[in-house]
Amino acid sequence: MATKDVSVEPFVYIPYEGPDDEETADASEPSMPTPSDLEDVDLPCGPGVRLDAFERVWEEYNEKLKEVVKEMHAPGVAQAVEEVLDAYTNVSPLLLHTELPVIAISGPDRRGTATICSEIRTSLCSTTAEGDIDEEDAMHVDNSNTPRALISSVGASDCVNLASAMKALIAGFTSNYPIRDEDFAQLRRKGTAGSSLVTYDINLLDAWFAEYKEAAEGQTPPKLVVFINEFEDAEPSVIQDLFYICSLHIPRLPLVFVLALSSPKQPSYLHAVYPRTTLALLQLKRIASSVGSDPLQALLLKVFYDPSYEPPVHLGPATVDFLVEQYTKNSGSIEAIAGLLKLVLLQHFMNPLTAFTVDDFLGEESMEDASQLLSEDTSRPFLRLLVGRLYHPQKSTLLLPKKKRAWPIGGPQDVIETVRGLRRDVLKEARLRRLAFRVFLLVRDFMLRKGFKTASDGKEGIGFLGMMSACLRGGSAAAKEGNLSYLAKMTRKLSKDHLKELLQDLYQLFFNQPRVIREDKADAITPVIAKWMARLDSSGTSSDIAEDLDHTTIGREVGDWLLEFFDELFQAYTETNLWDIWYTGNPVAISELTNPAPRVNVIGALLNPGRYLEHTSSEDHEKQSLPDTSLLFQRYLESGRMLNVHDWYESFAGALEADRSARGSDKPSKETPSRRGRALETTPRRRKGRGRGASPDDPEGSDEEMDDDAWKMEMHVRFLRGVQELDFMGFLKHTKRKAEHVLKTVYEPPEY
């Protein structure tokens, strides 16, 4: 120990050389398999193959997600763009002043609002006439089209004072859009600093825009659009003046403001913070960023439950539930959900078997190479795992023919073939499940539209999202969650007109499916529906009673068919062998990573260090191996509101002594109390003596005495180190109210 040489000051930095309990903490997460576990069964090239697969899958998802989000935002974006382009037209002639058009994009999701703003920006930058001209060209005036709008962005950080805000606003236009290829900055530099307009003078923008219009030669002058990002963070007094100054120069400068608010549309931030005089200058248009009641529902429906889109990896029911829970409970942000999805995928691809997810050949060129790879020695554990899963599945239902159960039959090539076949099965099953889900939705919505109550009484969205995961669990879960029998019952009781309408809708749905699904299933169903429809039509000609009879029979048939259909297609996702290659598993461990509870974990670790330390000791050694910090913390919890540092030390020293005497066989145990008493009594004096540095010449310095002194010093040092550590973690609060006392910050934690 380094403590022997510590002579003068007790307050020294002591590097801790014991086992480091922090590093081992995250490895002991219960449900995440550690990399070392997986390495044993992995292919030598496995991580690379799986990373590639992950990247491919994530890229595809990302594109799809972006597309869906864009679609969701489209109405808001279109509205905003229209507002911008229509600004300063159709102004009522009766007004005494011109209003400054301001479009406020508000939504609870900050990142969502930012996405909308960037979409508005791109939409404004593209010119109407020639569609996709890239941005650079659109900005150019030499191009035949002047852009519809020039754009300047002002960040909240610019808005600390008026000068910087104005400067950012003006520079956004003048430095981004060159006129006749002349550089604005250079032009200004020609004069001396004091002899031209300052950069934050709005007259500068005025003069610049006059020139811009002249260069554009008679084309409609573009709007000057100013985006203010993170509007709430901007200083209101600055923005107030900014709006006032801008309002003095309209409509000569066709300024339009677009504000990105992260506060909701209701209650309005603008109205709460800005005075009426400022609001009176503006023509405010407020647009909510989140369109539709539940964006997550729409997103899941479009990405994972759309029969026309085939996701490369499917979400397991646990994942669906997890995403829904995280969304409703914690974030309410689609972008955050996308982030979680990425993590879910990453976790999914930690499973060595997922090397097969998108690629049958494990990253190799051909079947031969792949089987070559599998037959190598290093691949043996992987192959064993695979074969074990293939031929000894946990489920009783087997998809493989009986004769193939013996191992080994055809070598690696055969295994690959089997996996390939399984993939086909899984994809087909998933496809059909999505189709069935759509049918379920259609019937359910139809019932709701017609005013029938579906038995899921809660909020509309909840039953819906619940069904998303239940239909994956299959069978009875789906029947219960979706209340399928009730749905079928309602169908049986439908009146003739309603039945006809429902059948028509169903026919449309099946008819419009992509080819794969039509071949699989839909083509078999459409004629049945057509037949029912025909029977319904013809039944009108006969007499009333017969007609009534006829349509109830048809209704009953349809109801029965629906039940049967759902029962057949809502199969449990685990039915297929090797389902974990294509379905994500339990993502609960991710939640602990994205939303950790550090406080509880720290206290838990201090109370039960054994759980976190690798050298987990047996019961009788537990007391001995408690780290100093834990010892101190236990005593800390036992005290009252305030903690006397001296008492704390004494108690700590007592524990150390007891520990030492219990371990040390050479020290008789009866000595302990007296030693302890003396040690405590003499502590200040001893410390002083050491402080003078007199110990080397100490006449009384016997071996035991030296040992004793060193031990006391060690106790001091360990105490200080522990206290410092607790202080660092925030358990202590220093106070000057009482000498030698510290305040506690944690009282009586629940049992960990």
Q: Which 573-632 residues touch other proteins, going by CB under 8 A?
A: 594-600
Q: Is 504 in the site for other proteins (CB under 8 A)?
A: no
Residue among 68, 629, 675, 538 nearest 311 (CA): 68
Residue among 175, 180, 167 nearest 140 (CA): 180
Site for other proteins in 683-722 (CB under 8 A): none
Strand partners for 224: 150, 255
Site for other proteins in 155-214 (CB under 8 A): 162-163, 179, 187-188, 190-198, 200-204, 207-208, 210-211
Q: What is the distance between the alpha carbons of residues 685 and 681, in angstroms, rounded to a whole number?
A: 9
Q: Is 750 in the site for other proteins (CB under 8 A)?
A: yes
Q: Is 681 in the site for other proteins (CB under 8 A)?
A: no
Residues binding other proteins: what is the number (CB under 8 A)?
Answer: 76
Q: Is 298 in the site for other proteins (CB under 8 A)?
A: no
Q: Is 51 in the site for other proteins (CB under 8 A)?
A: no
Q: Which of 38, 279, 367, 637 binds other proteins (CB under 8 A)?
A: 279
Q: What is the distance between the alpha carbons of residues 739 and 647, in angstroms, rounded to a whole number?
A: 13
Contacts of 464 (CB under 8 A, 6+ apart): 297, 441, 444
Alpha-carbon distance values, 196 to 179, 199, 209, 461 (Å): 19, 9, 16, 62
In the three-class reduction of DSSP (H, G, I as helix; E, B as strand; rest coil), residue 591 is classed as helix
Question: Using an 8 Å Cβ cutoff, are 454 and 463 in contact?
Answer: yes
Stretch that binds other proteins, among 329-337, 444-452, 636-644, 720-728 (CB under 8 A): 329-337
Nearer to other proteins, 379 or 469 (CB): 469
Question: Using an 8 Å Cβ cutoff, are 607 and 633 in contact?
Answer: yes
Site for other proteins in 95-134 (CB under 8 A): 95-97, 99, 108, 110
Q: Is 2 in the site for other proteins (CB under 8 A)?
A: no
Residue pointed to by tokens 């209650």: 267
Phi, psi (degrees; rounded to nearest 5) at 312: -65, -35
Nearer to other proteins, 283 or 485 (CB): 283
Question: Using an 8 Å Cβ cutoff, are 263 and 106 in contact?
Answer: yes
Q: Which of 6, 133, 273, 346 binds other proteins (CB under 8 A)?
A: 273
Nearer to other proteins, 268 or 485 (CB): 268
Stretch that binds other proteins, among 41-49, 272-280, 368-376, 522-530 (CB under 8 A): 272-280
Q: Is 272 in the site for other proteins (CB under 8 A)?
A: yes
Q: Is 89 in the site for other proteins (CB under 8 A)?
A: no
Q: Is 263 in the site for other proteins (CB under 8 A)?
A: yes
Least distance (Å) between residue 458 CB and other proteins: 12
Least distance (Å) between residue 270 CB and other proteins: 9
Q: Is 292 in the site for other proteins (CB under 8 A)?
A: no
Q: Is 232 in the site for other proteins (CB under 8 A)?
A: yes
Strand partners for 286: 104
Longest Cα–Cα distance in the chain = 127
**Dihedral (C-alpha) 94, 98, 102, 103: value to the nearest 10 degrees?**
30
Q: What is the distance between the alpha carbons of residues 657 and 683, in angstroms, rounded to a whole number?
A: 14
Stretch that binds other proteins, among 127-135, 324-332, 376-384, 634-642 (CB under 8 A): 324-332
Least distance (Å) between residue 730 CB and other proteins: 10
Site for other proteins in 406-465 (CB under 8 A): none
Nearer to other proteins, 90 or 674 (CB): 90
- In this structure, the strands spanning 223-228 and 255-261 are parallel
Q: Is 663 in the site for other proteins (CB under 8 A)?
A: no
